[in-house]
Amino acid sequence: MDGDRVEIDGGIMEGGGQILRVSTALSCLLGLPLRVRRIRAGRSQPGLRPQHLSGLEIVRDLCEGKLEGGEIGSTEITFTPGKIKGGTHIADTKTAGSVCLLMQVAMPCVLFAASPSELHFKGGTNAEMAPQIDYTLMVFKPIVEKFNFTFNCDIKKRGYYPQGGGEVVVQMSPVKELSAINLTERGTVTKIYGRAFVAGALPIKLAKDMSAAAVRCIRKEIRDLYINIQPVREPDDQAFGTGSGIIIVAETSTGCLLAGSSLGKRGKNSDKVGIEAAEILLKNLKHGGAVDDSLQDQLIIFMALAKGVSRVKSGPITLHTQTAIHFAEQLTKAKFTVTKSEEEDPSKDTYIIECQGMGMINSNL
Is residue 310 situated within a structural domain?
Answer: no
For residues 27 and 167, membership in a common domain is answered with: yes
For residues 252 and 103, membership in a common domain is answered with: no
Q: What is the mean pLDDT of residues 174-196?
A: 98
Report the CATH number that the domain containing residue 30 is assigned in CATH: 3.65.10.20
Q: Which of 89, 287, 320, 326 is labelled catalytic?
A: 320
Is residue 303 situated within a structural domain?
Answer: no
For residues 117 and 229, membership in a common domain is answered with: no
Is residue 256 situated within a structural domain?
Answer: yes
Is residue 266 situated within a structural domain?
Answer: yes
DSSP letters for 334-360: -EEEEEE---SSTT---EEEEEE----
For residues 119 and 198, membership in a common domain is answered with: no
For residues 48 and 110, membership in a common domain is answered with: yes
Measured CA to CA, the distance from residue 37 to residue 75 in angstroms comes to 6
Detail the residues annotated as belonging to a binding site: 104
Is residue 308 situated within a structural domain?
Answer: no
Closest CA to 196 of 241, 234, 250, 232: 232
Full domain range(s) for residue 72: 6-180+315-334
Measured CA to CA, the distance from residue 181 to residue 315 in angstroms comes to 17
* pLDDT the model gives residue 2: 55
pLDDT tens digit sequence for 38-93 = 999 999 999 999 999 999 999 999 999 999 999 999 999 999 999 999 999 999 99
Per the structure, how many domains does the chain have?
A: 2
Report the CATH number that the domain containing residue 198 is assigned in CATH: 3.30.360.20
Detail the residues annotated as belonging to a binding site for ATP: 104
Statement: residue 361 has pLDDT above 60: yes
For residues 36 and 136, membership in a common domain is answered with: yes
Assign 1 a pLDDT band (cuts: 50, 70, 90).
Answer: very low
For residues 153 and 221, membership in a common domain is answered with: no
pLDDT tens digit sequence for 98-121 = 999 999 999 999 999 999 999 999
Is residue 168 situated within a structural domain?
Answer: yes
Query: Which residues, at least 6 apart from 346, have a Cβ–Cβ distance to it below 8 Å?
Result: none
For residues 275 and 242, membership in a common domain is answered with: yes
Q: Is 320 noted as a catalytic residue in this protein?
A: yes
Measured CA to CA, the distance from residue 273 to residue 244 in angstroms comes to 9
For residues 263 and 205, membership in a common domain is answered with: yes
For residues 228 and 163, membership in a common domain is answered with: no
Is residue 232 situated within a structural domain?
Answer: yes
**What predicted TM-score, i.e. pTM, was given to this entire model?**
0.97
pLDDT tens digit sequence for 323-352 = 999 999 999 999 999 999 987 787 889 999
For residues 215 and 151, membership in a common domain is answered with: no
| Beta-carbon count within 10 A of 75 CB | 16
Is residue 170 situated within a structural domain?
Answer: yes
Strand order in the sheet with 189-199: 227-233, 189-199, 243-252, 257-263
For residues 67 and 161, membership in a common domain is answered with: yes
